[in-house]
Amino acid sequence: MLYLYAPQEADVYQALLSRAMPGREVRVWPEPVDAASVRYAVVWGPPPGFFAGMRRLEAVFVLGAGVDKLMARDDLPSSVAVVRLTDAGMAQQMLEYALYGVLHAQRRMGEYQHQQSAAQWRPLPARLASQTRIGVLGLGEIGGKVAMGLATLGYRVRGWSRSGKPLEGVAACKGETGLEDLLADSDILLNILPATADTRGLLNERRLQGLPKGAFIINAGRGEQLDQNAVLGLLERGHLAGALLDVFSEEPLPVSHPLWRHPAVLVTPHIAAMTLPEEAVSQITANLAALVRGEKPAGLVERARGY
């Protein structure tokens, strides 16, 4: 049996999974099931205790790329394989989101918005893509494609990752020294890192101050990685020019939070790279078949690394 927990589009996922795996029983929460008969689960943000009693559970397939909340659960044994989505259409969306933020900063659209509110007509000096330095944090399946995509458009791109792996058109760096060098050389900082113990709180005030004056931040990784109060303070002091933020330490972002009303901040509701049902089910089906054959599926999470 495959048990599905999808707070959104559950009917769509059930239909797609049943069609893709006609020989397998697909049940949907909150339909009661015999927990001991569940061998596979497809989930996104299941409630506490969801996996309790699933003694035959072999694998959990996640409807997204982030698995940090699953790693912290006490009802999911370490013997159960956790498989995340490695792309499933998200890389293209993330590139589009990143490009929106990059163009907003490069073409000085925030300043033009301010001018519009004051009915001012004042052209500003142009900055070419080749003159724009972009630092990308996270060079995995999604981040790597985003970094290379921006490089092909003529931007000067540096990338930072745990391994410092080389990518075409991207200057790779790693370690604390590499991070400091990247920050100092980034007119635009794009964060697409996974949530791990090592990345939590990474972008604190000290590191953000290492960005050049007038830098712009795009955060589409995880909210816990970026010090939101530090961002507000650096914006007020004029060190940062603006920010495009898609993820937050508390979601939904509380209505009273000052980020909503800051004129240099663009807020989006965690939509930078949304899961596409058809793509996700195609990948889950292939990964489940790989597991059944005794092969390693794409996106198998290494618990020690957290992704």
Residue that has been written with the tokens 């559970």 in this structure = 57
Domain 90-267 sits in CATH 3.40.50.720: yes
Q: How many CB atoms lie within 10 A of CB 291?
A: 17
In which residue ranges of the chain is CATH 3.40.50.720 found? 2-88+275-292, 90-267
pLDDT means over runs of 10, the chain (307 residues): 95 98 95 96 96 97 92 93 93 97 98 97 97 97 97 98 92 96 98 94 98 98 97 98 98 98 98 96 97 96 89
Q: Which CATH class is domain 2-88+275-292?
A: alpha beta
Sheet holding 156-160, edge to edge: 170-173, 156-160, 133-137, 188-191, 215-219, 240-245, 265-267
Four-CA torsion 291, 295, 296, 299, nearest 10 degrees: -50
User: How many Cα atoms sit within 13 Å of 171 on the Cβ side?
Assistant: 14
pTM of structure: 0.93
Mark 46-68 as b/e (b = at least 16 C-beta within 10 Å).
beeebbeebeebebbbbbbbbbb
Residue 16 in tokens: 């797609």
Residues labelled catalytic = 222, 270
* Per-residue pLDDT tens digits for 12-29: 999 999 999 999 999 999
* Per-residue pLDDT tens digits for 90-114: 999 999 999 999 999 999 999 999 9
Four-CA torsion 167, 240, 213, 132, nearest 10 degrees: 40
The predicted structure's pLDDT at residue 97: 98
Please report, as a single letter, which amino acid is at residue 125: P
Residue 19 CA from chain centroid, whole number: 29
The answer to whether the peptide bond before residue 30 is cis (omega within 30 degrees of 0) is: yes
